[in-house]
């Protein structure tokens, strides 16, 4: 790329140099010919009196020796020429400058010499006595003028080419350096000084790089959390089992320890299930996933029925309100979504509390609300409860068997459905979660 830019810049420079040269030469030659004709005109003004007086010897001596003077009669026969034997000269009536002079009083012509690289400029004018006075001068052709200036031109060109090579080099360097620097150390992208046009590109790379770093961090954190969460129940299980193994436990203890083992392995199972579910939801949308028109009200009904027993256990009333509403969705995911929201609303509730599930249409949208009169979520935690393993009150959540993954799963499901989730909560008053399906 660097080489390409270099080459192109140089080509442009060379083209510009040549074009300028050709154009200035042409302009110069134009001016030059005008000048020559002006000179010839002046000569002929000076000469015409002498010619009329036939004072030929006089002007033969006085005028510029390079000036050729010819006197021609109306019929084209040459009656005088200071450089040739006019008796032998052919009839001049067909020469363009003579024809023009006969028509308009004066005429001009430029002719290339066949033998030398010279051009002859002719100026003819009609005299008072009807004869035609023609003055002409041999002048170097444009090519010979050009030729004589070739060394100078080459020198200028060399200078220009060298300076454009230098310029091209500096410019490409300025163009390429930030990109190269960026490629070498993405971490210090902020410090690289880029030019305006490159900035959006750099910003984007920066952002993407930060995202990658962040998601790597999150993954690492998640792995650490998972290990920790798995370790706790396993330690308990191992402890209980060891006590039974050594025969130190009384029969009643054995019963108690077995139930501990049962509870902890149950917890392990839910944990592992949740983790597997999360990683499933994490992998970008799989094609085989079924999306269909689903009656959200029915899904809510099934969930409320299923959780009725748990609600009674927590001394909470759980009811469903609303109408039949259809959304484009995945049945299993919507089941999980409702289950997790209702389960939280029941678990983080107070005795004699209420949980209300609502499903209703609003304009073209479908709204799902799960509202409880429970303990609420403190302001500072409201942004975080959708994070994996985040629990407001670790001890309470654990005692109720929570893993802190429920709302993380909910968040993924909502995203998969292109829906929106909104949380309103006040401590000791309750929580309202609204999901809007478009």
Contact residue for Mg ion among 119, 172, 236, 344 (CB under 5 A): 344
First-to-last C-alpha distance (Å) of the chain: 48
Based on CB atoms, which residue is closest to ligand ATP, 168 or 407? Answer: 407
Enumerate residues 101-130 that contact Mg ion by CB under 5 A.
Answer: none
Based on CB atoms, which residue is closest to ligand ATP, 51 or 375? Answer: 375
- The structure tokens listed for 101 are 């002079």
Helix residue spans in 368-430 (DSSP H): 379-382, 394-399, 406-416
State the minimum distance, in angstroms, from the CB of residue 359 to Mg ion: 20
Helix (H) and strand (E) counts in the chain: 12, 12
Based on CB atoms, which residue is closest to ligand ATP, 345 or 421? Answer: 345
Q: Do the beta carbons of residue 372 and residue 349 sit within 8 Å?
A: yes
Binding residues for ligand ATP, how many (CB under 6 A)? 24
267 counts as binding ligand ATP under rule CB under 6 A: no
Q: Which does 178 bind (CB under 5 to 8 A by kind): ligand ATP, Mg ion, none?
A: none
70 counts as binding Mg ion under rule CB under 5 A: no
Contact residue for ligand ATP among 348, 356, 367, 437 (CB under 6 A): 348
264 counts as binding ligand ATP under rule CB under 6 A: no
132 counts as binding ligand ATP under rule CB under 6 A: no
371 counts as binding ligand ATP under rule CB under 6 A: no
Cα-only R_g, the chain: 51
Contact residue for Mg ion among 178, 233, 406, 430 (CB under 5 A): 406
Residue 236's alpha-carbon distances to 22, 239, 263, 352, in angstroms, are 94, 5, 10, 33
Which of 358, 347, 349, 341 is closest to 301 using CA atoms?
358
Q: What is the residue whose two structure tokens read 């620097």?
A: 181
Q: Please report how many Cα atoms fall inside a 13 Å half-sphere around the Cα of residue 233, on the Cβ side.
A: 23
Q: What are phi and psi of 383, to 5 degrees?
A: -75, -20
Q: Do the beta carbons of residue 14 and residue 159 sit within 8 Å?
A: no
404 counts as binding Mg ion under rule CB under 5 A: no
Based on CB atoms, which residue is closest to ligand ATP, 40 or 433? Answer: 433
424 counts as binding ligand ATP under rule CB under 6 A: no
State the DSSP H helix or E strand holding residue 254, giving kind and residue range, or none if neither: helix 251-282
CB atoms closer than 10 angstroms to residue 32: 16
Q: Which stretch binds ligand ATP (CB under 6 A): 14-22, 38-46, 309-317, 395-403?
A: 395-403
Binding residues for Mg ion, how many (CB under 5 A)? 2
Binding residues for Mg ion, rule: CB under 5 A, are 344, 406
Binding residues for ligand ATP, rule: CB under 6 A, are 274, 340, 344-345, 348, 372, 374-377, 385, 390-393, 397, 402-408, 431
């Amino acid at each position: 790329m660097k080489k390409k830019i270099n080459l192109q810049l140089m080509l442009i420079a060379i083209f510009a140099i040549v074009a300028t040269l050709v154009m200035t030469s042409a302009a110069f030659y134009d001016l030059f010919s005008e000048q020559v004709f002006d000179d010839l005109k002046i000569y002929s003004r000076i000469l015409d009196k002498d010619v009329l007086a036939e004072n030929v010897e006089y002007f033969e001596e006085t005028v510029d020796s390079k000036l050729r003077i010819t006197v021609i009669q109306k019929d084209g026969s040459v009656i005088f020429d200071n450089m040739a034997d006019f008796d032998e000269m052919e009839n001049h009536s067909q020469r363009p400058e003579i024809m023009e002079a006969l028509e308009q009083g004066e005429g001009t012509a430029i002719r290339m010499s066949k033998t030398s690289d010279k051009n002859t400029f002719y100026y003819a004018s009609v005299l008072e006595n009807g004869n035609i006075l023609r003055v002409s001068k041999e002048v170097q052709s444009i090519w010979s003028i050009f030729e004589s200036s070739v060394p100078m031109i080459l020198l200028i060109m060399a200078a220009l080419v060298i300076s454009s090579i230098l310029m091209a080099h500096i410019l490409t360097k300025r163009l390429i350096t930030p990109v190269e620097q960026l490629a070498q150390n993405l971490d210090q992208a902020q410090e690289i000084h880029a030019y305006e046009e490159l900035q959006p590109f750099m910003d984007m790379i920066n952002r993407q790089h930060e995202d990658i770093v962040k998601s790597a961090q999150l993954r690492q954190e998640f792995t650490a959390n998972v290990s920790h969460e798995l370790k706790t129940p396993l330690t308990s299980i191992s402890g209980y089992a060891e006590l039974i193994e050594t025969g130190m436990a009384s029969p009643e203890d054995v019963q108690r320890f077995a139930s501990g083992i049962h509870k902890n392995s149950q917890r392990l199972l839910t944990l592992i299930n949740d983790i597997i579910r999360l990683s499933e939801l994490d992998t970008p949308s799989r094609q085989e996933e079924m999306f269909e028109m689903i009656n959200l009200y029915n899904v809510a009904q099934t969930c409320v029925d299923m959780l009725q027993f748990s609600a009674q256990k927590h001394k909470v009333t759980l009811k469903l309100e609303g109408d039949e509403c259809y959304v484009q969705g995945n049945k299993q995911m919507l089941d999980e979504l409702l289950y997790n929201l209702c389960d939280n609303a029941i678990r983080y509730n107070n005795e004699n509390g209420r949980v209300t599930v609502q499903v209703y249409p609003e304009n073209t949208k479908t709204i799902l609300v799960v509202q409880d009169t429970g303990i609420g979520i403190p302001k500072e935690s409201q942004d975080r409860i959708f994070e994996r393993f985040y629990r407001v009150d670790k001890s309470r959540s654990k005692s109720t068997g929570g893993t802190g993954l429920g709302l993380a799963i909910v968040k993924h499901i909502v995203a998969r459905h292109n829906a929106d989730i909104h949380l309103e909560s006040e401590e000791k008053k309750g929580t309202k979660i609204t999901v809007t399906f478009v």
